[in-house]
Amino acid sequence: MHDETEDVIAELHAMLDRADRIVSFTGAGISTESGVPDFRSPGSPWMVNKPIPFEAFVQSREARIEAWRRKFAMDDHYRDAQPNIGHIALAALVADGRSPAIVTQNIDGLHQASGVAGEKVVELHGNGTYATCLDCGWRHELAAIRPVFEATGEPPVCLMCAGLVKSATISFGQAMPQEQMMRAQALALECDLFLVVGSSLVVFPAATLPVIAKRQGARLVILNREPTELDPIADLVIRADSGRALAPLASGPGGPARQG
């Protein structure tokens, strides 16, 4: 039987070959193939270890203790997660100069782990692989925080200024990172192909960036297992696992092995 998905994937790669400035926008779907649980999926460990809202974290020592307990419980679910073929494929686009940066809703750091320089990953929801001081911004490593937290039961405070230390993710109720938002918008305005990978495009600003790209004349491709609200304005919609659809970039012509 003819596999129509293969035809659509071939069309994706023809579009990628014609594009000069590709901006990838990734969501949870790209990382589920690495074993990172999707926040929204039923039975997700996120449901048991719900993130604490920002206001409670700031106001209550008990909330901070619970936030850190849940944070480390979640980390145990995906501590061994490695970049998958989808991450590697998008990294190849950055490495060969066709993609200036990757915009992501994910906090797992897997784009960086796949070889993309940190300054080329625009993290709209922050990063869960380290912590920062809410007052002075100093970076704190989880490997240093965790043993002290587990030994004392006390939430960490900043070594530099005694401020509150929090996972570097954007919590519910916390302001979106303005610089990252502006970078994401600029990338959407300047790309000629906007490639959505594994995002259901429901939360702000996920729903607006593809529209910005499309309206300035970029082509819009949505690669997601489920339908999205923006499918009707997309130039191409691919309902497939991201690893399967992107695999040719990671291994075949156009992949990192390509010369020149």
Which positions are catalytic?
A: 125
- Name the nearest CA neighbour of 142 among 132, 152, 134: 132
Q: Is 175 exposed, middle or buried (0-12, 13-18, 19+ CB in 10 A)?
A: exposed
By the criterion CB under 5 A, which residues form the site for Zn ion?
133, 135-136, 138, 158, 160-161, 163
Closest CB 161 distance from Zn ion, rounded Å: 3
Closest CB 131 distance from Zn ion, rounded Å: 11
Closest CB 169 distance from Zn ion, rounded Å: 17
What are the two backbone dihedrals, phi and then psi, of residue 43, each rounded to the nearest 5 degrees?
80, 5
- Give the nearer residue to Zn ion in terms of CB position, either 110 or 165: 165
Q: How many residues does the chain have?
A: 260
- Give the nearer residue to Zn ion in terms of CB position, either 64 or 183: 64
- Give the nearer residue to Zn ion in terms of CB position, either 71 or 166: 166
Going 39 to 44 to 45 to 50, the CA torsion angle's sign is positive
Report how far residue 27's alpha carbon sits from residue 227's, in angstroms, rounded to the nearest whole number.
Answer: 14
Q: What contacts 189, CB < 8 A, 6 or more positions away? A: 212, 213, 216
- Give the nearer residue to Zn ion in terms of CB position, either 10 or 144: 144
Convert 108-175 into a string of H (helix), E (strand) and C (coil): CCHHHHCCCCHHHEEECCEEEEEEEECCCCCEECHHHHHHHHHHHCCCCECCCCCCEEEEEECCCCCC
Report how far residue 47's alpha carbon sits from residue 196's, in angstroms, rounded to the nearest whole number.
Answer: 25
- Give the nearer residue to Zn ion in terms of CB position, either 87 or 166: 166
Closest CB 164 distance from Zn ion, rounded Å: 8
Closest CB 60 distance from Zn ion, rounded Å: 19
